[in-house]
Structure formats: C-alpha cells, structure tokens
Chain A
Amino acid sequence: MSAPTPTIRVQAEDFDLPSELLALTKGRHDIGAVVTFSGLCRDEQGALSALELEHYPGMAEAEMTRIASLALERFSLLGLTAVHRYGKIMPGENIVLVIAAAPHRQAAFDGANFVMDFLKTSAPFWKKEHAVDGSARDWVSAKDADDQAQEKWR
C-alpha cells in the first residue's frame, strides 16, 4: 500500500484544530491513535508583543511536504496534517499544527514528534520578535537543542 498524501498548508490565517482533526479522521475506521501538536506564540514574561514569521514561499511548502512524506513512510502513518502560519502572530495565537494518525499510539506520537523536530531545523521559516514598546527586537537565534532533537532520529 502506498503512503497516504499529507495535508500541508502555509497560511497567514489561523487554523481550527477540531476541524483539522475531523478532516483527518472522518469516516475512517482504521485509525486507532491521533496525536495533535500545536505551537503557540508566548509573550516571554510580558516582554513580547508579537512574533513576525517570515517564510520562503514555495520552498516552505515543499520542505514541509518532504518532511511529512519521510514521517508517513518511517512510522507507517495513516494520515498527517501540517499547517504553519506566517505574518504577525500575537501571544496566545497559534503558530503551527501537526496531526499524526496511526493504528497505534507509539507511531502517532513518534510521527508528530519527528515532524516537529524537522520543521524546526529545516523548514524555511524565521521568527522576529516585537517588543511591547513597539520596537522591533531581533531575529530569534537557532537553538543547538533543536539540532540535537533532530539528530536523535538518525
């Protein structure tokens, strides 16, 4: 059986987690486990007013699709959805969504985890912080911990 086609979107607008979950599982009798991960914008103890997400149009979708295909194959997933937002995002708002569906929980957990680890290090998105006083702060630096998180899947 060939791997299912992932649902991949890069968009400015928010996403609705329950709708995305339903779209993945509706009418299916083979899915026994679904793991959803969503990443939100936090305010860093009140210091940040917003994050600005820049992306490489075209490559962002292509890279997310490549990562999703790797996960579908490696963990024999039954379905996968990945949505990443761009533009200005306020504290408390959604940034990213990953939903992995599988017959059993371990593959679903691993699939979602794998996709997030690779999204962090190889999907072309960059975060810029905006301070509460309205000034632009700086670009967020890449973290060694994220590279190490990706390395564990080798």
Chain B
Amino acid sequence: MAKLVYFAWVRERIGKSEEELDLPAQVTTVRDLLDHLKTLGEEYEHALQYPEVIRVAINQEHVEHSETIAGAREIGLFPPMTGG
C-alpha cells in the first residue's frame, strides 16, 4: 500500500487530495506509477495527460521520474511550483 497525495490542479482533476492504493508489483519507478495511474480512469488520464510536467516527491523530498518507489510511505504528485 502506498499513500498518494495530490496538490493544486492535479488534486482538482483527480478529484481527491489523497488515497491509499495497492500497486501492481511491476510498478517500480515513478514513471511506472504515473503510467499505471493513467489507467485508473478518465480523471487520472486528464490529470496526468502530460506526465513529463508532473513533479513528484517521495516521503516529502523531490525526486526524478526515474527514481524507485520502493520504501515510499508517501508519494506526492503536483504541478510545477508557483510560490514565492
């Protein structure tokens, strides 16, 4: 089980701010995860239509899409940041 948290328009498009998901064994990297989520329904497809723009954090630290998700307690998905 992995806890997924969503922010900004990723949250709005998926329609929830967090969820716990059982992930198939073949989902091992962030890129695999994004591909898998896109198969879960049109709201996910809409949110993750351009996966290359999605920023990801594992256990609240930024990671690249090539990173493994093994050991992840919390995975955050969000658009590029616009604070400051």
Contact = CB atoms under 8 A, between A and B. Distances in A.
Interface in B53-84: 57, 60-62, 76, 78-84
A125 interface: yes
A128 B81 contact: no
A97 B14 CA distance: 32
A84 B82 CA distance: 12
B8 interface: yes
Given A56-B76, A58-B60, A59-B60, A120 B84 contact: yes
A128 B8 contact: yes
B81 A126 contact: yes
Interface residues on A, range: 20 to 34
A142 B57 CA distance: 17
6 contacts: A54-B8, A62-B60, A122-B62, A122-B81, A123-B83, A124-B78
Interface of A: 39, 53-56, 58-59, 62-63, 84, 95-96, 116, 119-128, 139-142, 146
Interface of B: 5, 7-9, 57, 60-62, 76, 78-84
Given A56-B60, A142-B80, 7 more contacts: A56-B7, A59-B60, A84-B83, A121-B81, A126-B81, A139-B82, A141-B80
